[in-house]
Amino acid sequence: MVTTATADSPTPPSSKRNKLAFHQHPSSPLLPGLPDHVAQFCLSHVPPSLLFSVSRSWRRLLYSPSFPPFSSLYALLSSSSNSLDFFNFDPISSKWSPLPPPPNSPSSHLLIHHPSFLSRHLPVQSLSVSGHLLLLAATTHNLLPALPRPLLFSPFSNSWRLAPPLPTPRRWCAAGALRGSVYVASGIGSFFSTDVARSVERWDLKANGAGDWEKVSGLKDGRFSRDAIDAVGWKGKLCMVNVKGHALKEGLVYDLEKDEWEDMPEGMIGGWRGPAAAMDEEDMYVVDEVSGSLRRYDPERDFWEDVMESNRLKGAVQMAAGGGRVCVVCGGSRGEIVVVDVVASPARLWVEPTPPGTEVVAVHVLPRMNWAADS
């Protein structure tokens, strides 16, 4: 059973607590003749799907805090009643489960449709950072920033906590994660301000998320406040464009070591024709929203090389990468998530439907939640 809390550490529980948590479920030895800690090491090399199917004790081990977590999907879903809720999809059990509600749940105050914007969804911005899920920016019914304090979810404790308050709550911003820190750039506060549109703030989770937001080198102008943008952390840099899709765009790259913004390489920005994401901040992918082509960026050639092409990927609006998979949300079919195994050769594609009556707003790849699997 999951619980909601207003505070938790962004680091996993200690190994001592992990062992206690697992042994709350007395059972026969994991592997007869071996101490459990040795058996756990041996079983950590077994595919999770096999552990899940063999026995209850192995299944409990698979979901215990002491066992290496596998990757799973976390999605922000909207329903016909305009409610917004986060769900977790477990790829081993093939089940969707709702996340516990955040403290002072803001979902009823977040706007995704408005009469003035009939042709589009209003953005609700979330991202993954250091194995956590962060709900960062959105719009209220009176078109103001909805989240003065972002909300952080920990799969390790199955709970939410409030992040430090943003110096200027905003919406329509560029947001991303790089080496354990969250970056928020540009955007609009309660009203348009050139200072806000040029500002960049960083929150470092590496120090247990205890610090406040701090300013880093700002932008030269406010051209990145036009759209809600997913900035991509990649090889010690943060890459972002100012508009989505095939439109003519500008691109910037933030160098973490230099604390400087640079123009995006010509080939990178030329091929940035849809949503982009990076796998472990090492390999960057983009989906061409028109052709349905998934491509990987080659920095040596400043070129996007083809991985695969599929009609399923046409109309891509958001994507995430992790665990060897690229997960894509497409505007024409928001009732499903397209998953591509980019490790397989050739790449393999399949679709994960969302719960009936829901549409995907955003998807993320994070470690699975800890829970007791008794059945």
Q: Is residue 3 part of a domain?
A: no
Separation between Cα atoms, residue 327 and residue 93, nearest integer Å: 18
- pLDDT computed for residue 106 by the predictor: 62
Q: Are 208 and 196 in contact (CB under 8 A)?
A: no
Reduced to 3 states (helix: H, G, I; strand: E, B; else coil), residue 117 is helix
Q: Does residue 374 fall inside a structural domain?
A: no
pLDDT at 321 over 70: yes
d(CA 99, CA 83): 14
For residue 228, the domain's CATH number is 2.120.10.80
pTM: 0.85
Domain span including residue 319? 71-367
Can you give the pLDDT at residue 154?
95
Token pair in block for residue 355: 């719960």
132 and 56 in a common domain: no
Q: In terms of domains, do 76 and 27 share one?
A: no
How many other C-beta atoms can be found within 10 angstroms of the C-beta atom of residue 364? 26
Whether 49 and 103 share a structural domain: no
For residue 283, report the phi and psi dihedrals to the nearest 5 degrees: -115, 125
* Residue 6 included in any domain: no
Q: Among the three residues 7, 30, 62, which one is the final residue of a domain in this structure?
A: 62
Angle at 241 between CA 204 and CA 197, to 5 degrees: 65
Whether residues 57 and 81 share a domain: the answer is no
Q: Are residues 25 and 125 in the same domain?
A: no
Assigned domain for 2 exists: no
Percent of the chain residues topping a pLDDT of 70: 86
Q: What is the mean pLDDT of the chain?
A: 86
Same domain, 254 and 360: yes
Q: Same structural domain for residues 110 and 142?
A: yes
282 lies in the same domain as 204: yes
Q: Evaluate whether residue 373 is within a structural domain.
A: no
Residues 41 and 118 in one domain: no
Of 62, 86, 119, the one marking the end of a domain is 62
Structural domain count, the chain: 2
| Whether residue 309 sits in one domain with residue 187 | yes
Alpha carbon distances (Å) from 12 to 97, 122, 263, 325: 21, 34, 38, 23
Confidence at residue 112, expressed as pLDDT on a 0 to 100 scale = 72
Within a domain: 9: no
Q: Express each pLDDT in 119-154 by its tens digit.
A: 457 889 999 999 999 999 998 888 888 899 999 999
- Among 7-16, 180-189, 307-316, the range scoring the smallest mean pLDDT is 7-16
User: Which of the two residues, 326 and 65, has the higher pLDDT score?
Assistant: 326
Q: Are residues 53 and 128 in the same domain?
A: no
Q: Do 40 and 172 fall into the same domain?
A: no
Q: Lowest-pLDDT range, 119-123, 165-169, 250-254, 304-308?
A: 119-123
In 3-state terms, what secondary structure has residue 52?
helix
At residue 239, φ and ψ (nearest 5 deg) are -110, 135
H or E segment and range at residue 75? strand 71-79
Residue 149 domain flag: yes
State mean pLDDT over 182-210.
Answer: 89
Q: Is residue 117 part of a domain?
A: yes
Q: Three-state SS for 225?
A: helix
